Structure 1
Amino acid sequence: MHYVSAKDLTKSFGVKPLFQDLSFHISEGDKIALVARNGAGKSTLLKIVGEKEFPDSGNVWIHKDVDVAFFEQEPQLEEQSSILDNIFHHAHPTINAIKQYEAAVDSGDEAAIGQTLVQMDELGAWDFEAKVKQILGKLNIHQLQQQVSTLSGGQRKRVALARTLIDIGFEHKHVLLIMDEPTNHLDVEMVEWLEHYLNKENSTLFMVTHDRYFLDAVCTEVWELENGTLYIHKGDYANFLEKRAQREESEAASIDKARNLYRKELEWMRKQPKARTTKSKSRQDAFYEVEAKAKQQIQQQKLQLEAKMSRLGGKVAELKKVYKKFDDKIILDGFDYTFKKGDRIGIVGKNGAGKSTFINVLQGLEQPDSGKINIGDTVVFGNYSQTGLLVKEDMRVIEFVKNIAENFPLANGATLSASQFLNLFLFPPEQQYTYISKLSGGEKRRLHLLSILFRNPNFLILDEPTNDLDLPTLSVLENFLLEFGGCLIVISHDRYFMDRLVDHLFVFEGEGVIRDYPGNYSQYREWQKAQQAEAQAEKKEEKAVVAQQPEAAKAKKKLSYKEQREFEMLEKEIADLEKERATLYEKLNDSSLPYDQLQQVTVRIGEIGEAIDTKEMRWLELSESA
């Protein structure tokens, strides 16, 4: 059945239309990725379909039996409420029962836990609660009583994503899930789990994503919004690129034909007498259509650019026995590495493992505790960080770039002007005189990235460069970096981007351990999965040995209902305590943490260790009869 039907949608901001007269259908089971340049109207179209915004003209019809779940790029949460209240925001008996149960477990109130257990049984809420647990665990969401206003940007996105996924599990059978950049601020394991979850749930999807592996894993068609027109491509991202290239080739041929006709018709127009017949008036009208076609330009998104970098000498950068820690948190433990010209290194690891500290130490922005860092005299760092563009927003785009330099030197001795360089990075001439304050979030990130590259560094450090960038911009950036002859360090969760650009990885495993893995991101993930599978197989063997007990030992009294519940609760309580301890260990890495809070964290870690020991002993006792 049709979930959504849209007819003649038009939307403008100012005098420039984003799109005109768009018509389309979304049917049950469709999995659609929407692709376009930043500022072309992707998020706006999602909001119109999700009834968060309204078109200037046209209509959107949503089937009466369809519920819409919307995950926005900038999620709206209740700032003064807890994570728990934000996630379980439905006033429904099952949702309320799970919310009360989670609150009771979080508080450790045994009486409340007992009451909520009975309520959960009566409503048959355990299956849905198990799904909720999986979502919260996989998205690393704990401390459910924490106030949302205290969360980081990444934590907020994960809370909003959990709320959306729980909503679609709770809603009626027919749900349209609209998602705007769902993979931002998720690590690779979370992204892979989300791929599996969305496929398993058999959802109907309409989403924007820059993650091409995620797109291919989840979506079955690609909709391209280009110059206000919607093009629909069945199949994966590679098929979309092929079909788009064919369309552009056909359009280029059509434009060439129109230009030839235009030259002939222009000559006729110039000779046309003032007194026009009906026939000449018709030809005149046709002339203006031909003129518009002839003056079209195909935006070329490929970039072949060999920069004339500052020469890298024989000595690039050398780190010898470098140590760095914050309190008891070890970041670098005698790290040794000598960078060579052309090194392309990806950096991966969990949040808090020290990735950002490492690149700051390398650039001299932070000092190591000990060891030597020798940087070559010719090295020019270019550091693209997540802090974003720091500039007065009442400045025009072209002025901002010209303040860096007037020209960009090429290897063949020629130069590109600031305007030409902007054009290559998808800022056409008409947009170059736009004020920075008028740019979208993605366009500002693209301008920030461009400004780093325009300074012509020979040692590039890119920290999550793909967040909020559109796919055309990513293609431009990748082509630029493939031609880049200097050193490159990339911190990113974008598997496709990393696979294309890096030759080996620094894997931050924690406690100062940094593995130098010889391969790309996908190869490392396959190796890591193989290691995890091997470890799980060993655990199964150990359990099998324990299970081989005499029949007399097995014939023990079975657990009562109360003991069975206690046994199930202990597994959860131990897991929650371990997660809390892991979170507290991450806090110890925060150098800005006040001393009194540091003491509290240390004391709490000790308390958790004792509680885990006690609960594990009780779990072992009960497990003998389970």
Structure 2
Amino acid sequence: MNYLSIENISKSFGELELFSGISFGINKDQKIAFIAKNGTGKTSMLNIIAGLDSTDTGQVICRKDLKIAYLSQEDKLDENSTIEEAIFNSDNPILKIIETYEKALNNPENEQAYQKAFEQMELHNAWDFETQYKQILFKLKLENLNQKISSLSGGQKKRLSLAIILIHKPDLLILDEPTNHLDLEMIEWLESYFSKEKITLFMVTHDRYFLERVCNEIIELDQGKLYTYKGNYSYFLEKKEERIAQEQASVEKAKNLFKKELDWMRRQPKARTTKSKSRIDDFFVIKEEAHKRRNNHQVQLEINMARLGSKIIELHNISKKFDDLVILNKFEYVFKRGERIGIIGKNGTGKSSFLNLITQQIPVDAGKVVIGETVKFGYYTQNGITPKPGQKVIEVIKEYGEQIPLTKGRSISAAQLLERFLFSRKRQYDFVEKLSGGERKRLYLCTVLIQNPNFLILDEPTNDLDIITLNVLENFLLDFPGCLMVVSHDRYFMDKIVDHLFVFRGEGVIEDFPGNYTDYRVYEDSKPKEETTTVKKEDTRVKTEKKGKLSYKEQREFTSIEKDIETLNKEKATIENSLASGEIAGEKINEVSIQLQNILNSIEEKEERWFELSMKLEG
């Protein structure tokens, strides 16, 4: 069943054309993701479909009585209402029945009103609906229904907006970055909810695991053209690669034909026959095809990283709390060169506060933070860029200098640097407030990196960045030789770039987990229900006690040792064969013998550790 049809629509802002001649449809039970680069009209497309913006040409045709709910980046909540009032502010008849019942519960002396409300609940089978909406509020941590909206944080307001549209059960949900402001637990719940529910979605999201597990169709706007992929994110990546390869092959074929036809054109006499005129017309079509090129410019990230000494950061028994909320309790850690740490935990457990403590933007209550003399922070915060009124894009960068130093003694101008971050010369003279959310984030990232840090701290860097920019950022971070610490709910991003995790458990407890996010989920899901976890608050480390079992860290070590022993034995056999064959020259025999002895020592050490762990496993 067709819910909505977009027919030949276009949208421009002044001379900037976002898209033109776009047509597609949304059918019942489809879960569609809309993918495009930042600044090419994703949010404008959502606003048009939701009826909040008009098109320059074409039309949007909706099925009669179609109920649409839109989760935008801007909250539209009545600040004077409570959470409960915002939820019941709906024309949903079941919600009205539940609202009446809730009021009757609060006035038990009016037995007649209670009886009538109870009967209506029974008649319309509203109990299941009530259970479901309360579960939604519970999962999104919105359990204090009497709390005023004016007292909520920005993240809580976004979660309330999401809860309201889920509870109201519209025919079509339009979602603009639904996972922003959700912690990992909430994202995984929402992912599961959308996967199981018969629900129609049209959304923009940068969360690639979310795309993978929820969407059954992806629509991509690429260089002004629309492409549809009937599958999830993996299918999209595969088919997009095939499409681009096919396009390039087509262009190459046209180039070869163009050379042939150009030679024919040059040899033709001035007098043209009807047949040759037709061929000339075809020549110009071939010429256009042969000169097609993909505008495949990507963000180019390059920095002249300051030298990092042996002393990085040392945390000595640091503690911090806000009123009764304990963030850290005698936490100790010594950072090493090249560390790549991901930070995860529920909202409110102190992840951002921890970053502010390390960068000494807020003081510790007790303990000591020691920063090495060579450490140069690059701190990307959730607050983003704060431009001066009327400030232009290029003026933001020129505050750091007209010339920006790069590696190997090179430098580039502020304008050239902005071009590397996909800001055209014309766009550089736009006011910062005119940029899209993703473009502002990209500009902010530029200001952080051009300061040439050797210790990068990124607090939710993936919010509002398009998937193309995310891929480039990930590749840059994989090659970044300094230290990296990142708070992110983007599981795909975390899996790709971090080596281990600080898991914020709450109440000052931090667990150092040896692996990425997927490793952590596997570990958490594999825990038996009877397993007990004891927390030693004095050193904020979590220890799991269960006789006859290895900890997750020990299990990883056990598996790794077996592989190491196998590799060392192969090296040992190779050297022994070389010595036996007489291939090695006399002056090198001593050197190779020492190498062999080192391998034998390593094998002995690893076999002893393997035996120790295997005995523990047998319990």
If the TM-score is normalised by the length of the shorter chain, which range does it land in?
0.7 to 0.9
Q: How does 1:149-164 map to 2 (within 5 A)?
A: 149-164=150-165
Q: How does 1:337-352 map to 2 (within 5 A)?
A: 337-352=333-348
Kept in 1, the 8 Å contact 2:342–2:498? The answer is yes
Kept in 1, the 8 Å contact 2:217–2:232? The answer is yes
CA deviations over 1:391-428 (Å, ceiling 9, x no partner): 12523323322332445544455445444443333334
Residue of structure 2 equivalent to 1:40: 40
Deviation at 1:483, TM superposition (A): 1.2
Matched, 1:422 2:418: yes
Give the alignment partner of residue 179 of structure 1, picking from 163, 175, 180: 175
**Cα distance, 1:309–1:274 mapped onto 2, change above 3 Å:** farther
Deviation at 1:485, TM superposition (A): 0.8
Residue of structure 1 equivalent to 2:322: 326
Matched, 1:497 2:497: no
Deviation at 1:219, TM superposition (A): 0.4
**Cα distance, 1:94–1:326 mapped onto 2, change above 3 Å:** closer
Q: How does 1:556-595 map to 2 (within 5 A)?
A: none
Matched, 1:464 2:460: yes
Question: TM-score under structure 2 normalisation?
Answer: 0.78
- Secondary structure of the 1:522 match is helix
Kept in 1, the 8 Å contact 2:303–2:450? The answer is no
Q: How does 1:531-546 map to 2 (within 5 A)?
A: 531=527, 533-534=529-530
The percent of aligned pairs where both chains have the same amino acid is: 52
> Which amino acid is the alignment partner of residue 427 of structure 1?
F
Cα distance in 1 for partners of 2:393, 2:276 equals 45
Matched, 1:434 2:435: no
Deviation at 1:527, TM superposition (A): 2.2
Residue of structure 1 equivalent to 2:129: 128
Cα distance in 2 for partners of 1:520, 1:165 equals 31
Kept in 1, the 8 Å contact 2:185–2:346? The answer is no
> Which amino acid is the alignment partner of residue 30 of structure 2?
D
**Cα distance, 1:127–1:54 mapped onto 2, change above 3 Å:** same
Cα distance in 1 for partners of 2:497, 2:346 equals 21
Cα distance in 2 for partners of 1:422, 1:254 equals 33
| Structure 1 unaligned blocks of 5 or more | 537-626
Kept in 1, the 8 Å contact 2:384–2:441? The answer is yes
**Cα distance, 1:380–1:301 mapped onto 2, change above 3 Å:** same
Kept in 1, the 8 Å contact 2:298–2:469? The answer is no
Matched, 1:139 2:140: yes
Q: How does 1:188-267 map to 2 (within 5 A)?
A: 188-255=184-251
Deviation at 1:243, TM superposition (A): 2.4
Give the alignment partner of residue 474 of structure 1, picking from 470, 474, 499: 470
Residue of structure 2 equivalent to 1:88: 88
Matched, 1:315 2:315: no
Residue of structure 2 equivalent to 1:579: none
Cα distance in 2 for partners of 1:246, 1:302 equals 19
**Cα distance, 1:497–1:97 mapped onto 2, change above 3 Å:** same
**Cα distance, 1:254–1:509 mapped onto 2, change above 3 Å:** same
CA deviations over 1:219-238 (Å, ceiling 9, x no partner): 01211111221111222223
Kept in 2, the 8 Å contact 1:304–1:479? The answer is no
Cα distance in 2 for partners of 1:296, 1:102 equals 64
Residue of structure 2 equivalent to 1:79: 79
Kept in 1, the 8 Å contact 2:299–2:469? The answer is no
CA deviations over 1:108-166 (Å, ceiling 9, x no partner): 86758945445423443111111111111111112223332332211111111111111
Q: How does 1:343-382 map to 2 (within 5 A)?
A: 343-382=339-378
Kept in 1, the 8 Å contact 2:184–2:346? The answer is no
- Secondary structure of the 1:365 match is coil
CA deviations over 1:91-117 (Å, ceiling 9, x no partner): 354221212334566x68675894544
CA deviations over 1:166-217 (Å, ceiling 9, x no partner): 121xx5xxx2222111111111111111111112212122111111111111
Deviation at 1:505, TM superposition (A): 0.9
CA deviations over 1:447-481 (Å, ceiling 9, x no partner): 11121112111111111111111111111211111
Cα distance in 2 for partners of 1:302, 1:524 equals 32
**Cα distance, 1:480–1:110 mapped onto 2, change above 3 Å:** farther
Matched, 1:515 2:516: no
Residue correspondences, number: 531
Judge which range, 257-266 or 7-16, deviates more.
Answer: 257-266
Kept in 1, the 8 Å contact 2:223–2:295? The answer is no
Matched, 1:148 2:149: yes
Kept in 2, the 8 Å contact 1:305–1:410? The answer is no
Cα distance in 1 for partners of 2:16, 2:132 equals 46
> Which amino acid is the alignment partner of residue 445 of structure 1?
K
**Cα distance, 1:69–1:352 mapped onto 2, change above 3 Å:** closer
> Which amino acid is the alignment partner of residue 79 of structure 1?
E
Residue of structure 2 equivalent to 1:562: none
Kept in 1, the 8 Å contact 2:184–2:345? The answer is no
Kept in 2, the 8 Å contact 1:303–1:480? The answer is no
Deviation at 1:441, TM superposition (A): 1.6
Kept in 2, the 8 Å contact 1:306–1:484? The answer is no
Deviation at 1:353, TM superposition (A): 1.7
Residue of structure 1 equivalent to 2:439: 443
> Which amino acid is the alignment partner of residue 45 of structure 1?
M
Judge which range, 254-263 or 318-327, deviates more.
Answer: 254-263
> Which amino acid is the alignment partner of residue 387 of structure 2?
V
| Structure 2 unaligned blocks of 5 or more | 533-619
Kept in 1, the 8 Å contact 2:82–2:146? The answer is yes
Judge which range, 354-363 or 309-318, deviates more.
Answer: 354-363
Deviation at 1:249, TM superposition (A): 3.3
Kept in 2, the 8 Å contact 1:348–1:355? The answer is yes
Cα distance in 2 for partners of 1:428, 1:261 equals 33
- Secondary structure of the 1:432 match is helix
**Cα distance, 1:409–1:331 mapped onto 2, change above 3 Å:** same
**Cα distance, 1:152–1:26 mapped onto 2, change above 3 Å:** same
RMSD: 3.3
CA deviations over 1:494-546 (Å, ceiling 9, x no partner): 1111111111111121222111111111221232233474469xxxxxxxxxx
CA deviations over 1:231-250 (Å, ceiling 9, x no partner): 11222223322322333334
- Secondary structure of the 2:385 match is coil
Kept in 1, the 8 Å contact 2:300–2:421? The answer is no
Q: How does 1:2-151 map to 2 (within 5 A)?
A: 2-64=2-64, 66-103=66-103, 111=110, 114=114, 116-151=117-152
CA deviations over 1:6-64 (Å, ceiling 9, x no partner): 22111212122211111222222222111011111112222222323222111222223
Judge which range, 271-280 or 112-121, deviates more.
Answer: 271-280
Cα distance in 1 for partners of 2:28, 2:215 equals 13
- Secondary structure of the 1:308 match is coil
Residue of structure 1 equivalent to 2:539: none
Judge which range, 14-23 or 496-505, deviates more.
Answer: 14-23
**Cα distance, 1:509–1:451 mapped onto 2, change above 3 Å:** same
- Secondary structure of the 2:48 match is helix
> Which amino acid is the alignment partner of residue 17 of structure 2?
P
Kept in 1, the 8 Å contact 2:301–2:420? The answer is no
**Cα distance, 1:270–1:425 mapped onto 2, change above 3 Å:** farther
> Which amino acid is the alignment partner of residue 191 of structure 1?
I
Deviation at 1:261, TM superposition (A): 7.4
CA deviations over 1:256-315 (Å, ceiling 9, x no partner): 566677789999999999999999998888777667656654233666756431010111
Cα distance in 2 for partners of 1:429, 1:76 equals 36
Cα distance in 2 for partners of 1:352, 1:93 equals 35
Judge which range, 407-416 or 193-202, deviates more.
Answer: 407-416
Cα distance in 1 for partners of 2:138, 2:202 equals 25
> Which amino acid is the alignment partner of residue 75 of structure 1?
D
**Cα distance, 1:434–1:241 mapped onto 2, change above 3 Å:** farther
Cα distance in 2 for partners of 1:181, 1:378 equals 38
- Secondary structure of the 2:429 match is coil
Residue of structure 2 equivalent to 1:165: 166
Kept in 2, the 8 Å contact 1:4–1:25? The answer is yes
Residue of structure 1 equivalent to 2:382: 386
